[in-house]
Amino acid sequence: MSNSVANFLKSLKKQPLQLRNQIRISCGNESADLDSVASAISYAYLEHIWANSNPSEAIIPIINIPQSDLILRKDIILSLNRLNISVEDLFFREDLISFKKTNSNCIVNAILLDHNEIPKHTAPYIDNVVGIIDHHADSKLYLNANPRIIKVTGSCTSLIFKYWYEKIQPSTRPLLKNVAPLCLSAAVQDTANFKRKIEEADLEVAPIYRDLLPELQFDLFYNDLNEAKVDIKGLSTIDILRKDYKEFAFPDGKGDDLIVGIASVVKNLDWLYVNTNESQSKELFIKDCQQYLIDKKLTFLMIMANNRDPKKFERQIAFIFDKKMVGNIVDKVIRDVAEYLDLKPFDDSNTKDSYISFHQLNVKASRKQVAPAIKQAISKI
Ligand SMILES: [Mn+2]
């Protein structure tokens, strides 16, 4: 059997996990974007080739969404197809949950990638956090994890690839070619092909990828990926919201948790109003969002919309809530973050009791920065 990533994953699927006292898993964050999926898979694969381990001892990568949600992420499907990895080769959130439920004595040790705090819904199924590599704000948890690397980078995969590249023997390095396209996919997506948000680790790995993949045309590779990512035409509002979604429990000043959902969307609000529902109306779009708010039992929902146009990159932000239920909470949060995010009203026809939208002129702030700002604003309420 070759050493491909696909074969590695297939060999994991054949392991009888229930015979073990403990297992190790690698998890990306709950948005399961390309960076998270590539991080979980590449970390497990790279450790496997470094340790030359038997599949029975290898780390199992978990994609932290239900399997049925993967199909919405066409950029990820494309990246997996490029390595001949099929959906059946992967482990998903439901696999972890059913394993832990039927094998409650088995200790689950997790390596967290692309996040550094276990999301609430996964916490019951993880016993220990034994490693962290991430590029989000440090929650200062699991201080004994090893490695525990949390650094600003464009892509989390840059930190992971660099970490293992430095550990792996030079004689084994040719095998890195097998996983490099997956890490590179996340890197070009998160840095707009090494043009934005590039940090030290991204700059260090880029020439290594070029050496490993001399035939690859980075521009084409990036464009195909980008097209796949923005291909959301035909999806319903709900599918678009859940495609890249994170949920947070942020404590207010009294210590009560407010539940905030933040959906990141690859089109602007005007596009969403006319393309996500048959009547092509803003009203119906808002109604769908309100349904999501109710289904998810949120205090409020935020949509971070951007057009992904490198020439005129813009961001918009919308808040969906029910004033009858939550009073002035959203007004207070908006007042607190308005200056930092440089918010300007998006249009006049807002229904102020349930929907408010803005241009976010601070275009540098993505969810990675916005979520901690919202957390801070809520802590003052
Ligand atoms: Mn990331």
Query: For residue range 305-336, what is the model confidence (pLDDT) as tens digits?
Result: 998 776 788 999 999 999 999 999 999 999 99
Give burial (CB, 10 Å; 0-12/13-18/19+) of 351.
exposed
The helix (run of H) or strand (run of E) holding residue 265 is strand 257-265
Gap from CA of 195 to ligand 1 centroid (Å): 16
- The single residue listed with the structure tokens 């990533």 is 5
Give burial (CB, 10 Å; 0-12/13-18/19+) of 179.
buried
Gap from CA of 326 to ligand 1 centroid (Å): 31
Check whether domain 5-228 has CATH 3.90.1640.10, yes or no: yes
Please check whether residue 155 is in contact with residue 202, taking contact to mean a CB–CB distance below 8 angstroms: yes
Gap from CA of 368 to ligand 1 centroid (Å): 9
Gap from CA of 130 to ligand 1 centroid (Å): 19
| pLDDT over 80 at 253, yes or no | yes
Q: How many residues does the chain have?
A: 381
Gap from CA of 28 to ligand 1 centroid (Å): 9
**pLDDT given for residue 349 in this prediction:** 63
pLDDT grade for 20, boundaries at 50, 70 and 90: confident
pLDDT tens per residue across span 87-111 = 999 999 999 999 999 999 999 999 9
Cα(149)–Cα(135) distance, integer angstroms: 8
Gap from CA of 199 to ligand 1 centroid (Å): 13
Gap from CA of 352 to ligand 1 centroid (Å): 33
Gap from CA of 80 to ligand 1 centroid (Å): 17
pLDDT tens per residue across span 22-78 = 999 999 999 999 999 999 999 999 999 999 988 889 999 999 999 999 999 999 999
Gap from CA of 347 to ligand 1 centroid (Å): 31
Gap from CA of 155 to ligand 1 centroid (Å): 5
Q: What is the domain class of 237-379 according to CATH? A: alpha beta
Domain borders along the chain are 5-228, 237-379
In the chain, % of residues over pLDDT 70:
99
pLDDT grade for 1, boundaries at 50, 70 and 90: low
**pLDDT given for residue 279 in this prediction:** 79
